[in-house]
Chain A
Amino acid sequence: DSGVTQTPKHLITATGQRVTLRCSPRSGDLSVYWYQQSLDQGLQFLIQYYNGEERAKGNILERFSAQQFPDLHSELNLSSLELGDSALYFCASSVQGAAYGYTFGSGTRLTVV
């Protein structure tokens, strides 16, 4: 157990629907990051939050949004889902700062049918 908890582990939903992925960071970590891994693709950075505030944005679609709550857990909302959104979504947390490694959760596998 890495200390980063992601739920659910698997999600199957239909096109056009909306889903919410949840992440609880490792105790003491203030930063949360979301990554997407599509088939045969590397880890694509989506968005970062630090202590409730958005810090950096990557290749995140307008249909996707995220937030970090006062208890530091984070949610990634994916709406108007398309087949191409099927992917493994990872959450990672860290102490803020470039010199600190990330601790990854086990991921949520989203399948859009």
Chain B
Amino acid sequence: EAEVAQSPRYKITEKSQAVAFWCDPISGHATLYWYRQILGQGPELLVQFQDESVVDDSQLPKDRFSAERLKGVDSTLKIQPAELGDSAMYLCASSLGALGTDTQYFGPGTRLTVL
């Protein structure tokens, strides 16, 4: 069964350092999402891609966060500089399309700890 791949699974960094997360969606999925999940809460959307284009980044803190999906396949989410409040689980998801009916399939996530 195809799955969304993410790496690394865990990342510990010091504040003010740069970190990057990678995501490889299910093959053929045109839509890719990055979510942030703070402990005890549900995931919140950071950015949504349709192929290589950003369609929603309204919740992405653009002063420190950036995301790209250059060839419309895998994607990278970067934080620079990291802050203590960025400690969270970062989840990547993909779906065939962007319709409300399309199921989003999630990867295992990257647990970020900022010291």
Asked if chains A and B come from one complex, the reply is: no
List chain A positions with a Cβ less than 8 A from chain B. none
List chain B positions with a Cβ less than 8 A from chain A. none
